[in-house]
Amino acid sequence: MVDRVHTDVKPFPRRRARRSSGRRLVFDGQADDWLEALPLGNGRLGAMCGGGMHAVLDLNEETLWSGAPQRDERQRRVAAAEAQDLLLRARAAVLAGRPQEAEELLARRQSDYAQAFLPVGRLVVGAEQPDPVDVVRTLDLQTAVHETRAGEAIAETFVSQPAQVVVHAITGGRGDPALDFTSPLRETSRDVLDDGFVVRLQAPLDVAPGHEPSMPAATWPEPGERSVEAVVVVRRRAEQERVVIVAAIETTYAGPTAPLSPIAEAESRARQRVEDALREPYERLRDEHVHAHRTLFDRVQLDLGPAPDLPTDERLSHARASGDVAAADPDLVATLFDYGRYLLISSARPGGLPANLQGVWNAEMRPPWSSNYTLNINAEMNCWASEVTDLPETVDPLIRFVEALAERGAVTAAHDYGAPGWTAHHNSDAWAFTATTGAGHGAVKWSFWPFAGAWLTRHLTEHVAFGAAPEGFAADTLRPLARGAARFMLSWLTETPDGALGTAPSTSPENAFRTGDAEVGVGVSSTMDISLARELLETVVALEDDPADPLAREARRALDRIPTPASRVRADGVLEWDRAVDEADPAHRHVSHLYALYPGAAADESFERAAAVSLDRRGLDSTGWSLAWKLALWARLGRSDRVSALIELVFRDAHANAAGHAGGLYPNLFAAHPPFQIDGNLGYVAGIAECLVQSHRGRIELLPAVPSTLGAGSVRGLVARPGIHVDIEWLDGALVETRLRARPGAEGCVRVEWAGHGVDVIVECDAEIIVTRGDIDDAPRDRAGDDRSAQAGRGPMV
C-alpha cells in the first residue's frame, strides 16, 4: 500500500501549447450562416455571434417555449379506462406473438406531441456593409468572450452569468452603431427609447413538430388565452472610446407546472438588469463574467500537445487531409473536449432548465425534433460528462426537471397505466410532458417507452456516487424520486411465458425487427428494459436502511426474477429482446441493448465480450450522438483502436457528409446528427473522459483506452467515484504519475490501476497523494486483474 502523502507539490510540467489558438476557436472572415456563427451562453441566455463588425446576434432564452402549463392534458385522445384497456390488449397480443396488432392498439393510446423551444429574435448592431479590412473572429473558450477584429476596430461579446445580460462592446468603430431587432414571434408592442428600445413578444400556444406536416406550424393564442411572453430590453451607452450595448431578456415562464407570471414582472426584471449593467464600468462587467465562467471551466485541463498557429478551419482541413486527425493535430482532440465542456457550462446552470437538443441555441420556429428533450438517450447524454469533468452544477437543472417529471408523470402513470408512482416516455418539454407522443399515427418503436424515469434516476445516483451531492440529497431527493419510479416499475413488470418477470409490450428505443413481411418495434422484455428495471430496483434496495420496508422487500423479490443482462449473451453478441430477431437495420444508431456496459455498470466479462461483437456488427459510422455513445462503449472495453477510428469520424466535415445518419462537425464545431444536435458535442466529452479514467468497477483505472496517437499528455481535475480528483501524466503511452485528492466525505482507501496492475492508496481531502508508474509496477501482483464480475451487476454506489 502506498501511504506517501505529498503536501508540497508542484503541478505537472506542461507543454508550452499555443493557447492563443489551442483554446480559442479562430476564423477568418465574417459568419454568413448560423452554423458558422459562434455560441455564447450563461445557462439561461444564448447568443449566436454572426456577421462581422456588422454584428448579427441570434438570441435565445431557455424558457421561451410554445405551450403553457398543463395544456398538454388537452391532447389526451382517450379516457383512462380505454387507455388501460388498450394496454392490456396490447400486452396479450404481443405475448401471443401478434406484435403488429399490439402496435395498432398502442398507437390508439397516443397523445399528440411535446412543445418546441423557440428563438427570441435577431439583434443587428451596425449597418450592413462590407468590412473595410479583413475580419478575424475568435471565441475564447476559457473566458467565454467572442471577439471580432477588423483593423483598429474591435467588438467583444459575452453573455454574463452574474449580470444576466448580453453585452456587446465596440472599440474603434464607426461612430454610434444602429440597432435593429426582429423576431419571428408575435410582437405585441415596442417602445423606442433615447438609447435603445423595449420589445414585448408572445409565443405560440402550440408548435407542431416538423414530422407532422399536416398540423399547423404554429397556433397563436386567442383573446383570453395565455402563452409565454417575453420582454427584450436593449440599451447602449458611450464609455470613453467604447460603445457598450446591453440586452436583457425575461419571460413569464415560472416553472414546468406553475402558472405564467404577469408580463409586467418580466419587464421590470429586464429593465432593472439593463439599468444595473449600464451602471457598471465595462471592464468590471467583463471581469465578473470571466471570473464566473473560469470558476467552472478551469477545473479541468487536458493537454495533448502544442497547437498550430492557424485558424481553426485551416487546422481542421489540414488534419482531415492527413487521414488521421489525432495524429496530425492532437490538440484538436483536446480543443473539442474543451468546447464540449464550454457548451455544457453555457447551456445548463443551477436554477434553470437542462440543456435541450440544441443546448440553449435555436433560430427556427419549427426546429428539428422541436429542439426539446428526447429522454431515450439525448437528454441523458447531455449530462454524461457533468460528474467526471467536475461540473456537478450542470446536473442541478436536470434534477429539478426530474422532480417536475415525477409530479406530471404521476398523472400519466395513473391515467395511462392505472399504476402508482410516476413515469415518463421518450419526449418532453419545458412543461414536463410525460405522455406518449405520436398523435395516433406515430411509430410505436419510439413513442412507447415508459422507462425515462428509470434512466433519469441513474443521474441522481451518479450525483451521489461521485461525491457531489449535498448533505441530505440521497435521503431527501434521490430516495423519493427513485421510490416513485420503482412503484411504477413494479406495477408495470409482468410474468412472461418463461416464468420470469419482464415487460410486455416492450421496445428497444427506435429500433425494429422483421416478422414475416412486416417491420415492428414491439416485443417482450428488451435488454434495455431489464437493465434499467434491475438498476432502478437495486438503487431502491441500496437506499433503504429498514430491511422490513415493504417496497424494498418487493424490489428484492422482483430482482430474483428479472433476467440479468448477462442472460442475453450469445455467440453473435447481445440479444436486443428476449429472443433472437431479424434486425430491420443491423447498423441502427441506437445501441440501447448495451446500456449495462455504458452508461450502466452491470456488465460482467461475458457481457463485455458479447458487447464487442454487437458493436462490431453495428459498425462504427452513425449519427453524431451515436458516435459519442460508441466512443464511450469502446472505451469501457479498453479498445483504443476503435476509439481512434471513432475520433476520425467525429471530426469529419458534416457538410461534406450530409446524407443519411452520418455525424461530423459543422464549421462552428457543432456536432451533426445531422442536423445539429448538441448531444454529439457533450457526449464526446464523456467518451474522451472514459478513455482517461474509469471508476465504475469500484476502483480507479488510469488511461484504459487512450489511442496511440495521443501517446503523450496530461489531464488535470477529472473526478472518479467516490469523489476523487484525478490528475494524470503519461508519456509514450505509459503512465508517468497520477495525483489524487478526495472530496470531503470520500477520504479513505482506493484501488488505483494502470495496465492491469494496481496499488491500494489512502487518499485525503487536504493533501495530494502522488502515485507513479513505479509504485504500481512494484506493488504485489496478488490483486492484479481483479475479477470484474465481483464488481459488475452490484448496482449504483449510493
Q: Is 69 helix (H, G, I), strand (E, B) or coil?
A: coil
Over the stretch 323-375, which tens digit does the pLDDT of each residue have?
999 999 999 999 999 999 999 999 999 999 999 999 999 999 999 999 999 99
Residue 252 has pLDDT above 90, yes or no: yes
Distance, CA of 60 to CA of 45 (rounded, Å) = 6
Which of the four pLDDT bands, split at 50, 70 and 90, describes residue 1? very low
Q: To 5 degrees, how large is the angle CA 720–CA 330–CA 378? A: 55
* Across 595-622, average pLDDT: 97
Alpha-helical segments (H) within 466-604 = 473, 479-492, 527-543, 550-559
Pick from 596, 460, 584: which is nearest to 528 by CA? 596
Q: How many CB atoms lie within 10 A of CB 127?
A: 10
Which residue spans within 207-304 are E strands per DSSP? Answer: 229-239, 242-251, 301-303
**Mean pLDDT, the chain, integer:** 93
H/E stretch holding 122 reads strand 121-125
Q: Are the beta carbons of 450 and 492 closer than 8 angstroms?
A: yes
Instruction: Report in angstroms the alpha-carbon separations of 393 from 389, 399, 678.
Output: 11, 10, 18
Residue that the C-alpha cell 505537472 belongs to: 12
Which of the four pLDDT bands, split at 50, 70 and 90, describes residue 659? low
Q: Are the beta carbons of 753 and 761 closer than 8 angstroms?
A: no
More confident residue, 197 or 20: 197
The pLDDT, as a whole number, for residue 72 is 83
Q: Are the beta carbons of 651 and 319 closer than 8 angstroms?
A: yes
Rg, C-alpha atoms of the chain: 26
Kindly give, in sequence order, each residue whose CB lies less than 8 Å from that of residue 756, ignoring residues fewer than 6 positions away: 784, 785
The pLDDT, as a whole number, for residue 213 is 87
Over the stretch 362-408, which tens digit does the pLDDT of each residue have?
999 999 999 999 999 999 999 999 999 999 999 999 999 999 999 99
Mean pLDDT is lowest, of 14-23, 264-273, 339-348, for: 14-23
Over the stretch 545-587, which tens digit does the pLDDT of each residue have?
998 999 999 999 999 999 999 999 999 999 999 999 999 999 9
Task: Using a pLDDT cut of 70, give the percent of the chain over it.
Answer: 94
Q: To 5 degrees, how large is the angle CA 652–CA 656–CA 660? A: 90
Which of the four pLDDT bands, split at 50, 70 and 90, describes residue 22? low
The pLDDT, as a whole number, for residue 317 is 97
The pLDDT, as a whole number, for residue 778 is 81
Q: Residue 326 corresponds to which cell in the numbers above?
A: 489525432
